[in-house]
Amino acid sequence: MAKGKYAEKREHAQTEKKETTTWAMDEDLLEHKEGAARLVDLDFEEQAARNAAGMEEQVYGIWGVIWKINRFFDKYKKPHTVKKKTYLLLILFTGWFGGHRWYEKRYILAVLYTAFFWTGVPLAMAILDAFQTFPLKADENGMITYGNR
């Protein structure tokens, strides 16, 4: 069935409009992502300035709760010294259930690793621990201080 000239023009206009709209949406999305990243950076700078000035950090939403929990535990975080070779070997062979965390004497994390070993999450975390530990420089006794910020 042949289409009329108006139907063809309407289809052509709709196709052209869809392509233009998609391109404009992609550009807006890119600008939005860059703006959001800048906003997050500014928020972190503001929080650091408030902390440096002795003021309480202003937090909001679910990320605010996570921020407060993280700041709470940072107060009690103590660096600990472990033998680098032993620690890396423990990550390699027992990291999937938290053996390296038991060696560090970080018992809460060790229990969590052991309790959730079946999910595979502790294995992924152990891989991240290995990537964090490997570049650390050992002292003359082969010890590294782990966990300080």
Q: Which residue has the tokens 């703006």?
A: 35
Question: What per-residue confidence (pLDDT) applies to 99?
Answer: 93
Tens digits of per-residue pLDDT, 39-88? 777 777 887 788 788 887 666 666 677 777 777 776 777 788 999 999 99
For residue 136, the 8-state DSSP code is: S
Looking at per-residue pLDDT, the higher value among 89 and 44 belongs to 89
Q: Is 109 buried (19+), middle (13-18) or exposed (0-12) by CB count in 10 A?
A: middle
Q: Taking 90 as the threshold, does the pLDDT of residue 34 lie above it?
A: no
At residue 59, what are phi and psi to the nearest 5 degrees? -125, 155
Return the amino acid letter for 16.
Answer: E
Q: Is 32 buried (19+), middle (13-18) or exposed (0-12) by CB count in 10 A?
A: exposed
d(CA 5, CA 129): 67
Q: Taking 60 as the threshold, does the pLDDT of residue 15 lie above it?
A: no
Contact 90, 99 (CB under 8 A): yes
Of 21-30, 84-93, 135-144, which has the strongest mean pLDDT? 84-93
Question: What per-residue confidence (pLDDT) applies to 109?
Answer: 86
Q: Taking 70 as the threshold, does the pLDDT of residue 6 lie above it?
A: no
Length of the chain: 149
The confidence band for 37, taking pLDDT boundaries of 50, 70 and 90, is confident
What are the structural domain ranges in the chain? 5-73, 77-146
Please state the rounded mean pLDDT for residues 85-103: 93
Please state the rounded mean pLDDT for residues 79-99: 92
Question: What per-residue confidence (pLDDT) applies to 12?
Answer: 58
Please state the rounded mean pLDDT for residues 95-117: 90
Q: DSSP of 90-121, one letter per residue?
A: HHHHHGGGTHHHHHHT-HHHHHHHHHTGGGSH
